Amino acid sequence: KPADLESFQNHLRYSDRVLALCGAGLSAASGLPTFRGAGGLWRSYDAVSLATPEAFARDPGLVWQFYSYRRHMALQAQPNPAHYALAALARRKKGFLTLSQNVDGLSQRAGHPASRLHLLHGSLFDIKCTAFYCNYTESNNFTDPIAPALAIPKGGPSPASLGTATSGAGATESLQHAMHGAGSKPQGGKELDISDDRVEMPEIDAKDLPHCPRCGDGLLRPGVVWFGERLPEKIINEVDNFIEEPKKIDLILVIGTSAQVYPAAGYIDKARAKGARVAVVNMDRADTGRGGLEKGDWFFEGDAGVLVPELLKSEIGDISNT
């Protein structure tokens, strides 16, 4: 065993309170694109025109098509061994919490106990009402809310039926067509401004978009945190309560994140301030987050899908048969 794996596993063994801060790199092995690396979503799509409240106010149909596409991709993906390994650790280690920036639902589908999983940026499968006076939300919504508006058979893709559903594929194809011109896939690495005249959007009239079943007039929106929005108060409080407890934090595992988006990335500094050692798992040696590595940190370079089960094996045993 390499020395650093040995020292890491010893530390993990004697750690009472452990955090994992996860990003898109955790789901890369499941085939989902990250945001900022090559092929990343924000290199193919213009985040400002798709992932902000202003974008939704300006063109809710466009934003819904982007999220319908991401929901479909997430439902077609499968959790990878790293998702299963974190779920196994959460079941075994009382003082362990996963803070995930991912909205893809893969940690949940890997059986991660919900009480130990905090979704800092919400979930693609949560839906909520935009009327300020209405607090309607729904979770685990797997039927594509804009399938009717995209004039494809109602019901949309569900986790089980995805392999066969034409409607899901239809939605994705029509979106890809809309976003990138006929038949092409997102151009990884090329900035694509959505207002590019090559891209004709199937206009969806707001009246055809899903409206709130409770208040009747608010448009429904994806239950994810957009740029410029605050993280869910409840989540912030729960995480801060865990961190502020008088006991120290022994370890924070930073998995597959560029650690550039705050307040999520700030949990690394908060954990350090509570005495935590830091272990970074990242494909890119240069990407150790804005704070960078400090003396005594571990850096494990490679695919989280392979490394995380390896790192946690001393605690959870061999889960490769999952």
**Which residue ranges make up the annotated binding site for Zn(2+)?**
129, 134, 212, 215
| CB-neighbour burial class of residue 13 (10 A; exposed 0-12, middle 13-18, buried 19+) | exposed
222 bridge partner residues = 127
Site string for ligand APR, 21-60 (x = CB under 6 A): --xxx--xx----xxxx--x--------------------
Per CB under 6 A, contacts with ligand APR among 168-227 are: none
**Mind telling me the catalytic residues?**
121
Q: Using DSSP, how many helices (H) and how many strands (E) does the chain show?
A: 10, 9
Q: Supply φ then ψ for residue 22, to 5 degrees.
A: -110, 150
Least distance to ligand APR, CB of residue 211, Å: 26
Binding of residue 76 to ligand APR (CB under 6 A): no
Tokens of 23: 């990003």
Binding of residue 93 to ligand APR (CB under 6 A): no
Binding site members: 129, 134, 212, 215
CA 14, CA 277: separation in Å to the nearest integer?
Answer: 12
> Which residue, judged by CB position, is nearest to ligand APR in the bound state?
25
Q: Which CB, 108 or 258, lies closer to ligand APR?
A: 258
Give 3-state DSSP helix, strand, coil % of the chain, rounded to 5: 35, 15, 50
Binder of ligand APR out of 105, 222, 256, 309 (CB under 6 A): 256
Please provide the distance, in angstroms rounded to a whole number, between the alpha carbons at the two ends of the chain.
23
Q: Which CB, 90 or 253, lies closer to ligand APR?
A: 253
Tokens of 287: 């990407």
Select the span of 199-207, 235-243, 269-277, 281-289 touching ligand APR (CB under 6 A). 281-289
Q: Which CB, 124 or 146, lies closer to ligand APR?
A: 124
Least distance to ligand APR, CB of residue 29, Å: 5
CB 21 within 8 A of CB 253: yes
CA 188, CA 183: separation in Å to the nearest integer?
Answer: 15
